[in-house]
Amino acid sequence: MRVVVEKLTKRFGGVVALDDVSMEVPSSSKVGIIGPNGSGKTTLFNVITGYYTPEKGKVLIGDGKKLTDITGWNPNEIARLGVVRTFQIPRLIPSLTVLENLLIFYDYNRCASIGYALRRKWLECEKKAVSKAMGILREFGLLEISNKKPSELSAGHLKLVETLRGLMADARVFLLDEPFAGIETWMARRLIEVIKMINSERKATFIVIEHRISELLEGVDYIYVLHNGRLLAEGKPGEVINDERVVKAYLGG
């Protein structure tokens, strides 16, 4: 699924968190977003996913040439289109196990029809959800943590599980906010492999915010750079990190 952002502006009082930002994220691509602290990266995700309404501009999403204007839609409506996100600090539900945290992302609406109720098919639906969740945990080598609570998991596993919830929801667009923050290098590499796998096998689109640029470079095809709410540069990973303006922004220039 393709994501297009057109001239977005989002203010908080006197702070212009996003200033006329436009981006084009092609279907099935992996795009990175970098920029110094406070440059508007998380705000961009909050606007795309409907947590904030922009003062100006549009968010469009869709397949091929047919795009739907989702500006002003609420987060639930946007999630139902297949857009999922992860947070800078992972937000799994602490009282639920890993398996249960996956189960709550299953689309139970598909079982909510009168037909299902009349034929007492709820159990069948629950079974399908469990087998889907177990299938995902098996595929990504996480069966051994399926009954663990978030407090028992490493930072890397928290990030991984949060990402895999998107598969439960059959997500088509994954927005990952600093997936490598606070995790060990080998785990970051594993997460990159997971992103690549989901991208190539399920044709999902990824937009990844990250400060750990060396790791990000391995995982994405294209990068946008934000600085003070504005788009500072864009391009292929190798080009962007050598861009003088980008280097200057990171050095505080």
Ligand X SMILES: Nc1ncnc2c1ncn2[C@@H]1O[C@H](COP(=O)(O)OP(=O)(O)OP(=O)(O)O)[C@@H](O)[C@H]1O
Give the span between the Cα atoms of 168 and 188, in whole angstroms. 22
What is residue 173's three-state secondary structure? strand
Piece of the chain touching Mg ion by CB under 5 A; list 35-43, 63-71, 181-189, 192-200 = 35-43
Q: Count of H helices and E strands in the chain?
A: 10, 10
Q: Which segments within the chain are labelled E, that is strand?
A: 2-12, 15-25, 30-34, 56-63, 66-69, 83-86, 173-177, 205-209, 222-227, 230-235
Picked from Mg ion, ligand X, none, the partner binding residue 62 (CB below 5 to 8 A depending on kind) is none
Q: Which residue has the tokens 């839609």?
A: 73
Chosen from Mg ion, ligand X, none, partner binding at 39 (C-beta under 5 to 8 Å by type): ligand X
From Mg ion, ligand X, none, interface partner of 27 (C-beta below 5 to 8 A by class): none
Residue 102: closest CA among 75, 131, 124, 76: 131
Residue 29: name its binding partner from ligand X, Mg ion, none (Cβ under 5 to 8 Å by kind): none
Q: According to CB under 5 A, which one of 42, 49, 86, 163 is a site residue for Mg ion?
A: 42
Q: Contact between 46 and Mg ion (CB under 5 A)?
A: no
Q: What are phi and psi of 52, to 5 degrees?
A: -125, 145
> 179 is in the binding site of which of Mg ion, ligand X, none (Cβ under 5 to 8 A by kind)?
none
- Give the interface with ligand X as residue ranges (CB under 6 A): 12, 15, 17, 35, 37-43, 88
Which residues, including other chains, have CB under 8 Å from residue 51's CB and lie 6 or more apart?
75
Comparison of 142 and 225: residue with beta carbon closer to Mg ion: 225
CB of residue 26 to ligand X, shortest distance in Å: 23
10 contacts: CB under 8 Å, gap ≥ 6? 16, 17, 18, 40, 43, 47, 52, 54, 55, 229
Out of ligand X, Mg ion, none, what residue 12 binds, judged by CB under 5 to 8 A for its kind, is ligand X
* Closer residue to ligand X in complex, CB, 86/146: 86
205 binds Mg ion (CB under 5 A): no
In the complex, residue closest to Mg ion by CB? 42
In the bound state with Mg ion, the residue whose beta carbon lies nearer, of 40 and 167, is 40
Could you tell me the strand order of the sheet in which 56-63 lies? 15-25, 2-12, 56-63, 66-69
Number of residues that bind Mg ion (CB under 5 A): 2
Which residue ranges make up the site for Mg ion (CB under 5 A)? 41-42
